Amino acid sequence: NAGVTQTPKFQVLKTGQSMTLQCAQDMNHNSMYWYRQDPGMGLRLIYYSASEGTTDKGEVPNGYNVSRLNKREFSLRLESAAPSQTSVYFCASSERGQGPNEQFFGPGTRLTVL
């Protein structure tokens, strides 16, 4: 099992460009999450999907949209990138509703917006 995979690993955008970060998990998990990580800020939740067909805002959703394409895939879209969105983005998944909520993380996408 690959666990949680993310593409691309690195990306450089110009201000105003758009892009989609892809995430897939092969653990049959119900819940998926997108976080951003900035120096000294820890992990902040952007959006999550508690189950297929639902999405909810997290702590920092502005400037982002998400799509839960199916149970395996959860994408994050930046419609008009801004320098403030330079960050490392992590996708995670978990088996909701079965006790402890351990989340499994992907390797991250390092995004720079110029």
Cβ distance 27 to 104 under 8 Å?
A: yes
Nearer to other proteins among residue 14 and residue 39 (C-beta): 39
Q: Is 42 in the site for other proteins (CB under 8 A)?
A: yes
Binding characters for other proteins, 55-94, by CB under 8 A (x = yes): ---x-----------------------------x-x-x-x
Q: Is 103 in the site for other proteins (CB under 8 A)?
A: yes
Q: Is 96 in the site for other proteins (CB under 8 A)?
A: yes
The sign of the CA dihedral 89, 10, 28, 63 is positive
* Terminal C-alpha separation, the chain: 36
Cβ distance 64 to 45 under 8 Å?
A: no
Task: State residue 16 phi and psi, 5-degree precision.
Answer: 95, -15
| DSSP class of 85 | G
Q: Is 4 in the site for other proteins (CB under 8 A)?
A: yes
Nearer to other proteins among residue 36 and residue 78 (C-beta): 36
**For binding to other proteins (CB under 8 A), which residues are involved?**
4, 31, 33, 37, 39-45, 48, 50, 58, 88, 90, 92, 94, 96-97, 99-108
